[in-house]
Amino acid sequence: MNKIPVAVLGGTGYAGSTLCALLDRHPRFDLRFATARTRGELRPEGSTRAVPVLPLDDAPLDEAGVVFSALPHGVSAPWVSRAREAGARVVDLSADLRPGSGARGVPYGLTELAREELRDATVVANPGCYPTAVLLAIAPLLRRGLIAQGATIATTAASGVTGAGASPKRELLFAEVSENYRAYGVGNAHRHVAELQATVARHGVDADLIFTPHLLPVARGILATVTVQIAEPIADPSALWRADFAGEPFVEVVDAPPSLRDVVGRNVARVHVTAAANARRPTLIVLSAIDNLLKGAGGQAVQNANVMLGLDECAGLPR
């Protein structure tokens, strides 16, 4: 069986290196090259094969059938265009083409919400890690129009330090992170807010969205807590979530609140929903856990590429 040649632009960051490891093990993909600032080679995790690493300007884009762009936000979009001009399909992991960015006509690759839009797409905007956790948590409400008119969707989400990227920063040093827990991006101005608000609005929901991220002293994983008022009481919210996600290979609706240990190393979202007691209006609390480098980045990108190309959606992905 012939393999599809693929490439990763920005293959040495946390998301890029995770993506390279997945592609190297994928039964239908052949990882031809990755790019970085300097020429060299990389060995994907768990592999003995050396993959060529080239400077971005030297990337032979015409040699790839699919290009995954893990370039920084603000840098990626022009390279997506170049890859398309070279004839490749593209999955863009940056924020450049996502909802709320101003880009138009690019399918949003939250697979469970937009699978049909992804089939045969030439470019897909991979979701952000936090939006993946939050939007999958409330997807049944969005799809069924069950969020109360004018409600506030309040989200507190905590991520491991790999979510901040591989560039050295003082606030990410061991002495700053260890035995500590803090909020950042306070004031509802985090860059993921626009992506979240635009996606909620696309579903015709009239609601505010307040998002406060936190930094956990762990390497990877996201745990999001979403509190949302609903239009009317739901007798068994867990049953609704299970029905809505029935048949989804990468969403697990569970009876107990999820933890990071349940999801790290897996391309899954684990979701728990319960009705809030002692509230004047019908309110749900939804917990969602993902691995920020898999379901929140590289794994989601591979899942999207599988759908784009008509492959087995689960191919090459750890469950």
Assign domain 129-291 to a CATH class.
alpha beta
Q: How far is CA 41 from the centre of its chain?
A: 27
Mean pLDDT of all residues belonging to the chain: 96
Specify the pLDDT at position 107.
98
Of 39-48, 62-71, 167-176, 187-196, which gets the smallest average pLDDT?
167-176
pLDDT for residue 312 is more than 90: yes
Q: What is the pTM of this model?
A: 0.96
Distance CA 44, CA 22 (A): 8
Strand positions, DSSP E, 103-220: 123-125, 151-159, 182-183, 207-215
Specify the pLDDT at position 166.
75
Contact 292, 9 (CB under 8 A): no
Residue with the bigger pLDDT between 69 and 163: it is 69
* Cβ-Cβ contacts under 8 Å for 163 (sequence gap 6 or more): 129, 130, 220, 222, 292, 296
Confidence of residue 254 (pLDDT cuts 50, 70, 90): very high
Active site residues: 129
The predicted model gives 251-270 an average pLDDT of 98
The predicted model gives 151-179 an average pLDDT of 90
Residue 269, CA distances (Å) to 1, 98, 117, 207, 266 in order: 31, 20, 21, 24, 9
Confidence of residue 174 (pLDDT cuts 50, 70, 90): confident
Please name the CATH architecture into which domain 4-127+296-308 falls.
3-Layer(aba) Sandwich (3.40)
Q: What percentage of the chain has pLDDT greater than the value 90?
A: 93
Burial class (CB in 10 A: 0-12, 13-18, 19+), 18: buried
Q: Strand 207-215 vs strand 269-275: parallel, antiparallel, or unpaired? A: unpaired
Q: What are φ and ψ of residue 31, in 5° steps?
A: -75, 105
Query: Mapping DSSP to helix (H, G, I), strand (E, B) and coil, where does residue 216 land?
Result: coil
Specify the pLDDT at position 140.
98
**Which strands make up the sheet holding 151-159, listed edge to edge?**
182-183, 207-215, 151-159, 222-229, 283-290, 269-275, 251-253
What are the sequence ranges of the domains in the chain? Answer: 4-127+296-308, 129-291
Residue 140, CA distances (Å) to 135, 194, 240, 310, 314 in order: 9, 21, 7, 26, 22
Specify the pLDDT at position 171.
85
Q: pLDDT for 91-143, tens place per residue?
A: 999 999 999 999 999 999 999 999 999 999 999 999 999 999 999 999 999 99
Specify the pLDDT at position 66.
98
* Cβ-Cβ contacts under 8 Å for 187 (sequence gap 6 or more): none
pLDDT for residue 1 is more than 80: no
